[in-house]
Amino acid sequence: MLISDRWKVLIIRDLLTGTKRFSELKKSVGKISQKVLTSNLRSMEESGLVSRKVYPEVPPRVEYSLTKTGWSLKPILDAMVEWGTEYKQKHENETLQ
């Protein structure tokens, strides 16, 4: 349930490379609206996957990063990537035969 939404997996993927600002996440995740990204980040923050740091500046700067719990999902995402790569290769080989 914590990562059942496709956007959440992509957000975690992008945060695995380090802390990101909202605008950086919006660009890297893809075709996601500001409202949906905000909603997903809030949900992930409430679940303890993401931490949000607000800097008292004008204009305000907000950065998002993975928590320890968020980082614990890395092996699962790595396994999903490996499975997807193997599946794709198998499917391509079957198509060529």
pTM of the predicted structure, to 2 decimals = 0.84
pLDDT digits (tens, 9 = 90+) for 10-36: 999 999 999 999 999 999 998 999 999
67, two tokens: 């928590």
Task: Specify whether the CB–CB gap between 8 and 46 falls below 8 A.
Answer: no
d(CA 2, CA 34): 20
pLDDT digits (tens, 9 = 90+) for 25-72: 999 998 999 999 999 999 999 999 999 999 999 988 999 999 999 999
84 Cβ contact partners less than 8 Å away, ≥ 6 residues apart: none
Which residue ranges form the domains of the chain, and what is each CATH number? 6-96 (1.10.10.10)
